[in-house]
Amino acid sequence: MPFSLLRLSPALVRAAHELGFITPTPIQAQAIPVVLRGADLLGSAQTGSGKTAAFALPLLQRLGQGPQHTPRRVRALVLVPTRELAAQVGEVIRSLAQHLPQPPKVAVVFGGVSINPQMMGLRGGADIVVATPGRLLDLIEHNALRLAGVEMLVLDEADRLLDLGFAEELNRVLWLLPPRRQNLFFSATFPPAVQALAQGMLREPVRIEVAAVPANEPAIAQRAIRVDDKRRTELLRHLIKESGWERVLVFVATRYAAEHVAWKLYKNGVFATPFHGDLSQGARKQVLQEFKDGQWDVVVTTDLASRGLDIAQLPVVVNYDLPRSAVDYVHRIGRTGRAGESGLAVTFVTAQAEAHFRLIEKRQNLSLPREQVPGFEPQEEPPEGAPGAGGVKGKRPSKKDKLRAKDLSLRA
Ligand code: AMP
């Protein structure tokens, strides 16, 4: 079914085609008619499913149907967890809007950079604002924008917003919105806190669920390789060389590890560079562009930086360190196999990490055979009676989780 059958305006269909979107993905085919008729939406969709265009296209069409206002007022608000995602969503909306007779003004605002240019950018108002919650509230406090005229609210990656400790900011934003509005709620997972948020926000929502790996999308092949802790970098180099991997995103647990692993690879002839929250916004942008341009073979990153990275043709993701939670595992492997591409996710499982990975598998209904690579057979035994090696993050955040969330929210 082509996009034109979804009752989208020719200007939007043309812009979608120019982005290479010829056939709607399953979430787009289901969500677009629902949003066009003004209903609330509860979308359960993984990253990479095409959900940005699923809300952006009908949102643009609906805003185009309303009266134009001068000065502009914010009519649609899109809340996202990270600056990378904010920038990316803003870009997609602008591209999709480019052929509209009166393209809306789209403002993208996020923390971690100076507030002044964003305040200048909001002069004269904006029709659509894409924002991380903390910076949005700062701008409201500075009287740079008002939310009283919002007709449509999109919460993108709601689970991640809560994971990053944005619950309080979200509630404050919700208070500032007019009660009569259309709500579009997207999340990859639905732990109780996300369900409660959805319930409090949505009015008789239409539920749309897209299977974790939609049948008509190529599956992400998942592999688990047992290896000793100290030999992981060497194994990574071996796999890159033997398998001819060209663009690899490697996940580690800390910023220090990102620097360390990237440097060890680089020293040994692999073009690798770190990507994490300590880098300036400019440096992050540059690394991303260079990775997209094929200048780096490997980018070594942390979970914080991983969200919203949309790199077409990212064939391989490696979990060098395990993710803390099953949710993070899903998001990490979702970096590969983006719409229309096939992908491979490889997880290194050390003896110490075995119990933790088993918990992640259990949460994901997964059971991956443990592979061994010749020459890298593990020598280490799992520690005696090892429990969950810290455990997968449960429903109640620990003190450490809260501190981490606070740290992340300051950065977002
Ligand atoms: P998203 O889940 O919105 O981040 O989209 C994931 C990827 O799929 C992005 O690289 C989009 O450019 C791409 N994409 C979205 N919709 C389509 C479509 N209908 N056809 C082909 N690619 C798409």
Instruction: List pLDDT tens digits, range 372-398.
Output: 999 999 998 877 655 444 444 444 555
Indicate the burial class of 100 (C-beta count within 10 angstroms; 0-12, 13-18, 19 or more): middle
Nearest protein CA to atom 1 of ligand 1, as residue: 50
**What is the mean pLDDT of the segment spanning 173-183?**
96
CA distance 336 to 310: 9
pLDDT digits (tens, 9 = 90+) for 93-119: 999 999 999 999 999 999 989 999 999
Nearest protein CA to atom 4 of ligand 1, as residue: 48
Model pLDDT, residue 228: 96
Q: Measuring from each residue's beta carbon to the nearest atom of ligand 1, which residues come in under 6 Å?
A: 20-21, 23-25, 28, 47-53, 310, 312, 338-340
Model pLDDT, residue 407: 55
Beta strands in 165-292 (DSSP E): 182-187, 206-209, 220-226, 248-251, 272-275
Residue with tokens 């077409």, as numbered in its chain: 312
**What is the mean pLDDT of the segment spanning 189-207?**
92
Q: pTM of this prediction? A: 0.61
Contacts 24+ apart (CB under 8 A), 21-29: 21/50, 21/53, 24/50, 25/49, 25/50, 25/54, 25/214, 25/217, 25/339, 26/210, 26/214, 26/216, 27/51, 27/54, 27/208, 27/210, 28/3, 28/53, 28/54, 28/57, 29/1
SS3 assignment, position 44: strand
Cβ distance 185 to 194 under 8 Å? no
Tell me, rounded to whole angstroms, the distance of Cα 224 from its chain centroid: 23
Residue with tokens 């809306």, as numbered in its chain: 104
Ligand 1 centroid to residue 339 C-alpha, Å: 5
Nearest protein CA to atom 8 of ligand 1, as residue: 339
Ligand 1 centroid to residue 113 C-alpha, Å: 28
With a CB cutoff of 8 Å and minimum separation 6, the contacts of 133 are: 79, 161, 166, 169, 170, 172, 173
Ligand 1 centroid to residue 219 C-alpha, Å: 15
Nearest protein CA to atom 21 of ligand 1, as residue: 21
Higher confidence at residue 224 or residue 402?
Answer: 224
- Residue 328: φ, ψ to 5°: -65, -35
On average, the pLDDT of the chain sits at: 86
Q: How confident is the model at residue 191 (pLDDT cuts 50, 70, 90)?
A: confident
* 142 has pLDDT over 90: yes
pLDDT digits (tens, 9 = 90+) for 201-226: 999 999 998 765 443 345 688 999 99
CA distance 397 to 380: 31
With a CB cutoff of 8 Å and minimum separation 6, the contacts of 211 are: none
Model pLDDT, residue 214: 41
Model pLDDT, residue 84: 87
- Residue 245: φ, ψ to 5°: -65, 135
Ligand 1 centroid to residue 246 C-alpha, Å: 22
Share of the chain above pLDDT 90, in %: 59
**What is the mean pLDDT of the segment spanning 236-262?**
93
What Å distances lie between residue 406 and 81, 165, 362, 399, CA to CA? 13, 6, 28, 11
Nearest Cα neighbor of 65 from 146, 7, 125 is: 7
Model pLDDT, residue 21: 86
Ligand 1 centroid to residue 185 C-alpha, Å: 18
Higher confidence at residue 410 or residue 179?
Answer: 179
Model pLDDT, residue 353: 95
Tokens of 237: 């180099």
**What is the mean pLDDT of the segment spanning 71-86?**
91
Q: CATH 3.40.50.300 occupies which residues in the chain?
A: 3-210+402-411, 219-371
Beta strands in 173-240 (DSSP E): 182-187, 206-209, 220-226
Ligand 1 centroid to residue 346 C-alpha, Å: 23
Nearest Cα neighbor of 35 from 9, 6, 12, 15 is: 6
Architecture of the structural domain at 3-210+402-411: 3-Layer(aba) Sandwich (3.40)
Hey, how many other C-beta atoms are within 10 angstroms of the C-beta on 225? 20
Q: Which CATH superfamily is domain 219-371 in?
A: P-loop containing nucleotide triphosphate hydrolases (3.40.50.300)
Q: What residues are paired with 44 via a beta bridge?
A: 187, 209
Tokens of 234: 């060497």
Q: Angle formed by the axes of helices 167-176 and 192-201, to 10°?
A: 0
* 133 has pLDDT over 90: yes
Nearest protein CA to atom 17 of ligand 1, as residue: 21
Kindly report whether the peptide bond that precedes residue 67 is cis, defined as omega within 30 degrees of 0. no
With a CB cutoff of 8 Å and minimum separation 6, the contacts of 87 are: 108, 110, 308
Most confident segment among 6-20, 60-74, 214-228:
6-20
- HSE (side-chain half, CA atoms, 13 Å) at 299: 29
Q: How confident is the model at residue 20 (pLDDT cuts 50, 70, 90)?
A: confident
